């Protein structure tokens, strides 16, 4: 037998292989080729329970094909004080492990299982330290089997050496759910091409050739999951034209079932997903955070979480954090529970009231304020978790002081992530804004930010393997403590605190309008809290808005303002909502932009006049039917099965239209519609019917426009009642004057 040969390359894809264990695809670092190797990968899972049942299980499994070994071990369960007795079951391959686990769980459902349902990528990372796009050195035998593998770079590298990825973008020329697509548009670093969808299927032949010649690593599609790939496969079959989407030619496309789930207070629908073997398919429309961090962020997410690229693009950051925590646990030789059974510790009614609280909110002083600084703690909750060593298995801190010196699973997971994000942010600051790396770094920082954002919520999530409600409460308690300390410092320094919201403070002081005026305050807060606070910016002006229902009541986190840099910040307004029609959101944004042109109080009066004139024009356009219907589409949602609705909302009426037209409507799905005159009063946009501007119910949109404008204008002296009266009658003279708290 010949000696194993060496190979160096980046790991692109890894998946189960029924015969040999695993298939791994690499991009060669030597000749740019794409190579697949196999690897045997025995895996172990653990079972605990009454000894007589474990004995019966041991008898059942002894000598069984696929079981490599059975042993009795002691392992640490994070929720138990002492190590637990477990039976370790070593299986020859991951596929056999999955089969056996299903079988014994059926027979012994009351046993406690550990490490039984782990993703293969997670196991692989924990054993070899190898992750998606890791540069690896391998030893491969003559049968193409990996004998040794190690990563030569780390998940935490700020500027890692990355492979020369071939990315092919592909999509139809229009929204295929509204219009018939006539052309496929293809684009990559080498060419751009339009393929007319012809009845003979020549476009399929050309596409197949492109896939073979260009041989992309990543297919970035539009509507790939829900339309493009099913369409291409159907057409190829009907026309008997070969089309090889996978790089692994032995495989067909793998379909992940559609799903509806509950996340952060929202019902989310995810359509069926098309997964490829040997190359990755990312559908922009299904990629959860594509608009936030694009491809660079998705690849960063895959690298740090070790989730396969296709999965990292589609799942929530919570799943990424979960995978990272599992790796930490495996690296620490801590058991990974299959079903978490840990419930909340018993407490009294009084203790529940004292502990079950959220972040600190200090209601804003409503109205318009000038020269206000916003200071934010950098990743406050993750920093508290790390500083306070908050983890389910370690004693909880007293305020911010850790009760245990060895970091638990959760802070151990977060620390390198937090440090990497800070390092990337520092790197961004070290480059000029137009540096070619800046965009890439910003997208990667955004991906890491999302992972850090969800880590706190995940501590309290019912299915989080390393979640514990008391730990979740300890974080918010720490947050409240930190914010109160910051407020104390600000007031000692003579600042007025206008608003506080979880991890941010809005402060002002007469004569303070430059960054250096806030340096001492920031320094003192950093010292008093042990966390890092940062000057987000100084507003030329900021308007804190009251409740719509009762103008005497302020609303936290509903404000807009303009920084000295000219950057506009908006929170809690229509322009930020996903269901607001594009045109209404654009009008509101433009109104704020026109107001933001005022550089001083003196210039404000003129800007208010211009803003109101703009509103007047917008209103006229709307009333005269000159706004295109596609700009008025409302992005509604159905959260339940349609028959469960007792009241028929506009979204539900539109959803029924889709259902009656034979389309599938699932809970969590977005339902786009426009308001129309007469009956029916809504039209589902995805029915694909043409609609004339005159059929649009403009009075509904006038209401929406008034609502949007009345969020912006009241701080400048124009009340909602006045605006409504004027908008609906169009005749009264308004006195346009702002009231500014200087």
Partner 1 sequence: MIVGQLTNVLLPFETPLPPKRFLAIGAHALSERMLQLVSALALRQSMTVLDCGNRSNMYAVARLIRPYTADPVSVMRNIRLSRAFTCYQVLAMIQATARHPMSGPLVLLDLLATFLDEDVKLKDSQRLLAHSLDLLTQLSHQVPVVISTRPIPSIAENRNILLEELKACADVCWEEPLPLPNTQKVQLELF
Residue ranges binding partner 1 (CB under 8 A): 109-110, 339-350, 352-353, 356, 462-463, 469, 640-641, 643-644, 667
How far is Cα 372 from Cα 366, in angstroms, rounded to an integer? Answer: 13
Residue 311 Cα to chain centre, angstroms: 12
Please say which residue, 572 or 667, places its beta carbon nearer to partner 1.
Answer: 667
Please say which residue, 569 or 666, places its beta carbon nearer to partner 1.
Answer: 666
Q: What is the CA radius of gyration of the chain?
A: 29
Long-range CB pairs of 436-442, under 8 A, 24+ apart, other chains included: 437/159, 439/296, 440/296
How far is Cα 517 from Cα 509, in angstroms, rounded to an integer? Answer: 9
Q: b or e along 562-583 (b: 16 or more beta carbons within 10 Å of the residue's beta carbon)?
A: bbeeeeebbeebbbeeeebbeb
Asked if residues 569 and 560 have their Cβ atoms less than 8 Å apart, the reply is: yes
User: Could you tell me the smallest distance in angstroms from the CB atom of residue 496 to partner 1?
Assistant: 31
User: Could you tell me the smallest distance in angstroms from the CB atom of residue 660 to partner 1?
Assistant: 20
User: Could you tell me the smallest distance in angstroms from the CB atom of residue 649 to partner 1?
Assistant: 17
Please say which residue, 62 or 343, places its beta carbon nearer to partner 1.
Answer: 343
User: Could you tell me the smallest distance in angstroms from the CB atom of residue 110 to partner 1?
Assistant: 8
User: Could you tell me the smallest distance in angstroms from the CB atom of residue 468 to partner 1?
Assistant: 11
In what helix (H) or strand (E) does residue 230 lie, and over which residues does it extend? helix 229-238
Cis preceding-peptide flag for 680 (omega within 30 of 0): yes
Residue 309 Cα to chain centre, angstroms: 14
Please say which residue, 461 or 726, places its beta carbon nearer to partner 1.
Answer: 461
Report strand pairing: 192-196 vs 259-263: unpaired
Could you tell me if residue 215 is left (phi over 0), alpha (psi between -120 and 50 degrees) or otherwise beta?
left
Please say which residue, 6 or 358, places its beta carbon nearer to partner 1.
Answer: 358
What φ, ψ does residue 630 adopt, rounded to 5°?
A: -65, -20
Please say which residue, 110 or 602, places its beta carbon nearer to partner 1.
Answer: 110
How far is Cα 496 from Cα 508, in angstroms, rounded to an integer? Answer: 5
Enumerate residues 6+ apart whose C-beta is below 8 A from 14: 22, 23, 24, 25, 120, 121, 124, 132, 308
User: Could you tell me the smallest distance in angstroms from the CB atom of residue 646 to partner 1?
Assistant: 11
Token pair listed for 44: 């172990």
User: Could you tell me the smallest distance in angstroms from the CB atom of residue 344 to partner 1?
Assistant: 5
Asked if residues 176 and 223 have their Cβ atoms less than 8 Å apart, the reply is: yes
User: Could you tell me the smallest distance in angstroms from the CB atom of residue 265 to partner 1?
Assistant: 13
User: Could you tell me the smallest distance in angstroms from the CB atom of residue 106 to partner 1?
Assistant: 9
Residue with tokens 């000696």: 3
Please say which residue, 73 or 463, places its beta carbon nearer to partner 1.
Answer: 463
Token pair listed for 83: 């190590």
Token pair listed for 337: 């529970």
- Reference 670, options 701, 704, 699, 633; nearest CA is 633
Q: Please, what's the largest Cα pairwise distance for the chain?
A: 95
Token pair listed for 182: 């006539």
User: Could you tell me the smallest distance in angstroms from the CB atom of residue 358 to partner 1?
Assistant: 13
Please say which residue, 335 or 489, places its beta carbon nearer to partner 1.
Answer: 335
Q: b or e along 642-652 (b: 16 or more beta carbons within 10 Å of the residue's beta carbon)?
A: beebeeeebbb
Please say which residue, 647 or 692, places its beta carbon nearer to partner 1.
Answer: 647
CB count, 10 Å around CB of 542? 27
Please say which residue, 341 or 552, places its beta carbon nearer to partner 1.
Answer: 341
Please say which residue, 646 or 735, places its beta carbon nearer to partner 1.
Answer: 646
Token pair listed for 46: 């653990």
DSSP 734: P
In what helix (H) or strand (E) does residue 73 lie, and over which residues does it extend? strand 67-75
Residue with tokens 């809005």: 506
User: Could you tell me the smallest distance in angstroms from the CB atom of residue 310 to partner 1?
Assistant: 22
Please say which residue, 191 or 261, places its beta carbon nearer to partner 1.
Answer: 261
Please say which residue, 35 or 642, places its beta carbon nearer to partner 1.
Answer: 642
How far is Cα 195 from Cα 215, in angstroms, rounded to an integer? Answer: 18
User: Could you tell me the smallest distance in angstroms from the CB atom of residue 341 to partner 1?
Assistant: 4
How far is Cα 195 from Cα 473, in angstroms, rounded to an integer? Answer: 56
Please tell me whether residue 679 adopts helix, strand or coil conformation.
Answer: coil
Please say which residue, 262 or 431, places its beta carbon nearer to partner 1.
Answer: 262
User: Could you tell me the smallest distance in angstroms from the CB atom of residue 145 to partner 1?
Assistant: 37
User: Could you tell me the smallest distance in angstroms from the CB atom of residue 641 to partner 1?
Assistant: 5
User: Could you tell me the smallest distance in angstroms from the CB atom of residue 457 to partner 1?
Assistant: 13
Token pair listed for 528: 């008093």
- Reference 177, options 118, 248, 114, 227; nearest CA is 227
- Reference 463, options 345, 311, 322; nearest CA is 322
Please say which residue, 1 or 346, places its beta carbon nearer to partner 1.
Answer: 346
């Amino acid at each position: 037998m010949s000696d194993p040969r060496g190979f160096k390359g980046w790991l692109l894809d890894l998946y189960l292989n029924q015969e040999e264990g695993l298939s791994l695809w690499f991009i060669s670092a030597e000749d740019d080729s794409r190579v697949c190797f196999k690897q045997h990968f025995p895996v172990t899972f653990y079972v605990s329970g009454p000894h007589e049942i474990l004995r019966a299980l041991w008898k059942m499994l002894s000598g069984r094909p696929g079981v490599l070994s059975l042993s009795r071990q002691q392992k640490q369960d994070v929720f138990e004080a002492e190590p637990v007795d477990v039976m370790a079951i070593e299986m020859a391959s991951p596929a056999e492990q999955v089969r056996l686990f299903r079988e014994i769980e059926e027979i012994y459902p009351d046993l406690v299982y550990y490490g039984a349902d782990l993703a293969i990528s997670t196991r692989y990372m924990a054993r070899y330290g190898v992750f998606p796009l890791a540069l690896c050195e391998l030893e491969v035998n003559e049968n193409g089997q990996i004998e040794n593998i190690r990563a030569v770079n780390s998940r935490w590298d700020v500027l890692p050496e990355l492979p020369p990825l071939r990315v092919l973008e592909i999509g139809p020329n229009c929204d295929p759910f509204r219009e018939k697509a006539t052309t496929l548009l293809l684009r990559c670093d080498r060419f751009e091409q339009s393929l007319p969808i012809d009845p003979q299927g020549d476009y399929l032949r050309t596409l197949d050739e492109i896939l073979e010649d260009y041989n992309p690593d990543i297919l970035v599609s539009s509507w790939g999951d829900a339309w493009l790939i099913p369409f291409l496969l159907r057409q190829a079959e009907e026309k008997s034209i070969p089309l090889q989407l996978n790089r692994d030619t032995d495989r067909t496309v793998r379909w992940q079932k559609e799903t509806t789930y509950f996340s952060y207070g929202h019902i989310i629908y995810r359509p069926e997903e098309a997964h490829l073997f040997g190359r990755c398919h990312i559908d922009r429309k299904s990629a959860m955070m594509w608009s936030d961090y694009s491809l660079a962020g998705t690849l960063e997410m895959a690298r740090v979480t070790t989730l396969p690229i296709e999965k990292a693009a589609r799942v929530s950051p919570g799943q990424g954090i979960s995978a990272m925590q599992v790796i930490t646990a495996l690296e620490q030789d801590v058991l990974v529970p299959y079903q978490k059974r840990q419930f909340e510790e018993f407490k009294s009614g009084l203790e529940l009231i004292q502990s079950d609280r959220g972040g600190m909110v200090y209601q804003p002083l409503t109205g318009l304020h000038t020269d206000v600084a916003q200071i934010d703690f950098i990743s406050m909750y993750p920093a508290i978790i790390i500083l306070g060593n908050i983890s389910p298995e370690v004693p909880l801190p007293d305020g911010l002081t850790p009760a245990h010196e060895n970091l638990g699973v959760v802070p151990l997971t977060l620390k390198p992530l937090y440090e990497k994000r800070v390092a990337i942010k520092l790197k961004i600051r070290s480059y000029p804004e137009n540096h070619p790396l800046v965009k890439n770094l910003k997208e990667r920082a955004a991906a890491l930010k999302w992972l850090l954002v969800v880590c706190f919520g995940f501590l309290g999530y019912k299915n989080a393997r390393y979640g514990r409600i008391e730990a979740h409460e300890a974080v918010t308690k720490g947050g409240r403590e930190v914010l109160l300390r910051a407020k104390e410092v600000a007031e000692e320094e003579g600042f007025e605190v206008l608003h506080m919201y979880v991890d941010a403070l809005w402060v002002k002081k007469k004569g303070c309008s430059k960054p250096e005026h806030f340096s001492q305050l920031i320094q003192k807060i950093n010292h008093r809290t042990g966390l890092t606070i940062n000057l987000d910016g100084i507003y030329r002006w900021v308007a804190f808005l009251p409740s719509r229902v009762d103008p005497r009541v302020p609303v936290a986190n509903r404000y807009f303002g303009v920084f000295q840099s000219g950057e506009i910040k908006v929170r809690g307004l229509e322009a930020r909502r996903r269901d607001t029609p594009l045109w209404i959101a654009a009008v509101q944004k433009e109104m704020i932009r026109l107001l933001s042109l005022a550089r001083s109080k003196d210039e404000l009066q003129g800007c208010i006049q211009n803003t109101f004139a703009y509103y007047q024009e917008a209103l006229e356009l709307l009333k005269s039917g000159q706004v295109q219907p596609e700009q008025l589409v409302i992005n509604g949602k159905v959260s339940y099965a349609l028959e469960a609705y007792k009241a028929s909302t506009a979204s539900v009426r539109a959803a029924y239209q889709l259902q009656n037209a034979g389309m599938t409507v699932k809970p969590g799905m977005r339902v786009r519609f426009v308001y129309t005159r007469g009956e029916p009063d809504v039209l589902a946009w995805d029915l694909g019917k043409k609609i004339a501007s005159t059929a649009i119910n403009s009075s509904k949109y006038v209401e929406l426009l008034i609502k949007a404008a009345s969020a912006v204008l009241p701080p400048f002296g124009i009340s909602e009642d006045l605006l409504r009266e004027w908008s609906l009658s169009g005749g009264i003279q308004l006195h346009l004057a702002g009231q500014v708290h200087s």
